[in-house]
Amino acid sequence: MASPAIDKKGEQAQMENQPAALSAQGTSGQGTDNRAAERPVALAFDNVGMQFPDGTIALENVTLHIRQGEFVSVVGPSGCGKSTLLKIASGLVPQTSGTVSVDRNNLGYTFQDATLLPWRKVLGNVELLMELRGYPAAERRRIAMEQIALVGLSGFENHYPKRLSGGMKMRASLARSLALNPSVFMFDEPFGALDEITRERLNDELISLYVRKGFTGLFITHSIPEAVYMSSKVVVMSRRPGRILKTFDVPFGFPRSPELRYDAAFSALCGEISISLRQAIEG
Amino acid sequence: MTDTTNMSVQLYQPVPLPKPQGPLTRAILRVLPPLVVAGLLILLYAWVRAQLEPHRQFLMPSGYELWANAFSLPQVWAELGSRSLVTISIALSGLAISIPLGMLTGLVMYRYFILERGLLPNIVALQAIPMLAVIPLIQTALGFGFLPKVLIVAKMTFFAIPTTFLLGLKSVDRGALDLFKLQNASWWTTLWKCALPSSAPALFAGLRISASMAVVGAIVSELFFLAGKGGLGQMIINSKIDFKYEQMYAALIASTVLSVSVYLFFSWLGNYLFSEWHESGGKQG
């Protein structure tokens, strides 16, 4: 009776350990992008402020322009309004002052949890957003299978979420967003709940998805190395009320290889950001 | 330096895993405890009966009397069968009113917070009215037919449905709702594809409670309506009047079996629908 369960676990473990379907070996390779400055702005916050009904000011005068194809990470103390920034950009919560400009019809959004619907299998979950957008069934199925393969979940289409590991749930969640082929992709601490090995693997997979699809990314995280590894730009926010304290350009090109994590320049940049974040926390 | 003079090092032995239980052992461990408890209850019954004065022992018929005067007689079985049908049809008709009405009430309370404010305290108050006190009023208003009994069952089984359904609807994962909102999904789409499936296990917990109440409600209602050919409740009263206490016990046992069956059906249905995906479901891992 116990054996199928064990087999399943074994399968999952194997799944996590096999080389990622999309390691950061990369395809075209954007390299350091000199033309980034000429690209149009895909997501702009101008003097955005947010005050909650209880009077708390979550954000104050946030101005941040993200150009098409940029990948920007935001780090900051807990409760500084990082997630609120995403909710405002996506329209889940309207800001109380300032303006936001973005194409909301073409947004990807990944939550802190995978937020898979537990009564749908992986395939049904990946199809969900297309279903809500009214894609025809056959096209939905085709695109969903592609995305599932892309995130390395082939063979798990008919598994219910409760039988997946945390990393696999997050992959399914990514596939669900990717299915709409978003031009702006927002990530709200997507890998925060995962162990470090799974997290680094998913970082690599996300980078190769980014290189391949060329979306604009806004990534919220608590981890400085993750922010630096993933991004072309890292933004440090102050503690509440959240303001932008400092912006760091990340000079490394895409695609990135895991060795970058052991590079001296990488560590130096992490150190600089860490000092700045410490100042943010101490006020 | 750590002071080691007072250290008392002890040796801890490994604990081997217990031997896995065979299927037979597991089956016995599952069936035996309820049987043992049931046996103890029967012993208690026999003991209490033995304490009664002989002329009062008819109140608690022995196993032999039950067999001889009730369960060995085909006409008693026939009566139990036909009366069970009456009782179960009252119970199910009551549920057929209370379940849709309860779900609708839960739904409108979920949709309009102002209705939750308005309805919920009154639903609680409705539940607090002692049913037996209302039955005479229902008789006066609606007579002695099928409908008043059905309404009694509906009232008794109503409460658990809107309350558990509302709880389920309000516990839908925020992130899942945001997901739908980001796609500009309509309220109905969100309800149908997200809130309803998500709240179904909670609703079924309520349905199980209501289902087990339904047969009880049907029998209680019949105790007050003796005209015409009634169900098990009427049989209980009639056997008392005719001094056939063995048949009263037979009707009691039949109504218990009926009640448990309805409960088991809804449990099975809930398990069948949700076990694959819900955390409470049987298949793990």
CB contact under 8 A, B198 and A119: yes
What is chain B's mean pLDDT, rounded?
89
| Domain end among A132, A162, A180 | A180
User: Is the predicted pLDDT of residue A274 greater than 60, yes or no?
Assistant: yes
Whole-angstrom Cα distance, residue A116 to residue A190? 13
Residues of B within an 8 Å Cβ radius of A: 173, 175-176, 178-183, 185, 189, 193-194, 197-198, 274, 276-279, 281, 284-285
Whole-angstrom Cα distance, residue A120 to residue B84? 40
- For residue A3, being part of any structural domain is answered with no
Based on the fold, state whether residues A174 and A195 are members of the same structural domain.
no
- For residue A109, being part of any structural domain is answered with no
Q: CB count, 10 Å around CB of B178?
A: 16
- Considering only A10-19, A57-66, B80-89, B112-121, which range has the smallest mean pLDDT? A10-19
Based on the fold, state whether residues A239 and A125 are members of the same structural domain.
no
User: Is the predicted pLDDT of residue A236 greater than 80, yes or no?
Assistant: yes
Based on the fold, state whether residues A27 and A152 are members of the same structural domain.
no
Strands A244-249 and A216-220: unpaired
- Considering only A215-229, B2-16, B144-158, B263-277, which range has the smallest mean pLDDT? B2-16
CATH code matching the domain that covers B84-276, chosen among 1.10.3720.10, 3.30.420.40, 3.30.70.20, 2.40.30.10: 1.10.3720.10
User: Is the predicted pLDDT of residue A38 greater than 90, yes or no?
Assistant: no
What's residue A249's pLDDT? 92
ipTM summary value: 0.81
Based on the fold, state whether residues A277 and A187 are members of the same structural domain.
yes
**Counted domains in chain A:** 2
High-pLDDT (> 90) share of chain A, %: 53
Enumerate long-range contacts of A263-266, CB under 8 Å, 24 or more apart.
Answer: A266/A225, A266/A228, A266/A229
What's residue A283's pLDDT? 63
**pTM to 2 decimal places:** 0.80
CB B233 within 8 A of CB B153: no
Nearest-Å Rg of the Cα atoms of chain A is 19
- For residue A20, being part of any structural domain is answered with yes
pLDDT, tens digit (0-9, with 9 covering 90-100), for B158-203:
999 999 999 999 999 999 999 999 999 999 999 999 999 999 999 9
User: Is the predicted pLDDT of residue A165 greater than 80, yes or no?
Assistant: yes
Query: Which among B175, B182, B281 is the nearest to A90, CB-wise?
Result: B182
Whole-angstrom Cα distance, residue A258 to residue A207? 11
Based on the fold, state whether residues A237 and A275 are members of the same structural domain.
yes
Map out the domains of chain B as residue ranges: 84-276
What's residue A110's pLDDT? 92
Name the residue of chain A whose CA is nearest to B273's CA: A119
What's residue B225's pLDDT? 76
User: Is the predicted pLDDT of residue A4 greater than 50, yes or no?
Assistant: no
What's residue A16's pLDDT? 41
User: Is the predicted pLDDT of residue A14 greater than 90, yes or no?
Assistant: no
Mean pLDDT throughout A53-79?
Answer: 90
What's residue B249's pLDDT? 93
Mean pLDDT throughout B276-284?
Answer: 64
Give the residue numbers spanning the domain of A28. 8-103+183-282
Based on the fold, state whether residues A161 and A196 are members of the same structural domain.
no
- For residue A275, being part of any structural domain is answered with yes
User: Is the predicted pLDDT of residue B111 greater than 70, yes or no?
Assistant: yes
Based on the fold, state whether residues A166 and A54 are members of the same structural domain.
no
Whole-angstrom Cα distance, residue B44 to residue B50? 10
Based on the fold, state whether residues A144 and A276 are members of the same structural domain.
no
Based on the fold, state whether residues A146 and A166 are members of the same structural domain.
yes
Based on the fold, state whether residues A14 and A63 are members of the same structural domain.
yes
Give the largest CA-CA distance in chain B: 94
User: Residue B139: exposed, middle, or buried by beta-carbon count in 10 A (0-12, 13-18, 19+)?
Assistant: middle
Query: Which among A119, A129, A160 is the nearest to B183, CB-wise?
Result: A129
What's residue A35's pLDDT? 56
- For residue A1, being part of any structural domain is answered with no
What's residue A21's pLDDT? 37
- For residue A252, being part of any structural domain is answered with yes
CB A114 within 8 A of CB A151: no
Say if A115 is an interface residue toward chain B (CB within 8 Å). yes
User: Is the predicted pLDDT of residue B222 greater than 60, yes or no?
Assistant: yes
What's residue B118's pLDDT? 93
User: Is the predicted pLDDT of residue A240 greater than 70, yes or no?
Assistant: yes
What is chain A's mean pLDDT, rounded?
84
Query: Where do we find the tokens 């309800």?
Result: B191
- For residue A112, being part of any structural domain is answered with no
pLDDT, tens digit (0-9, with 9 covering 90-100), for A252-264:
888 888 889 898 9
Tokens of A207: 């980078």
- Considering only A31-35, A82-86, A127-131, A211-215, which range has the smallest mean pLDDT? A31-35
Based on the fold, state whether residues A68 and A48 are members of the same structural domain.
yes
A vs B, Cβ pairs < 8 A, gives 57
- For residue A2, being part of any structural domain is answered with no
Based on the fold, state whether residues A55 and A82 are members of the same structural domain.
yes
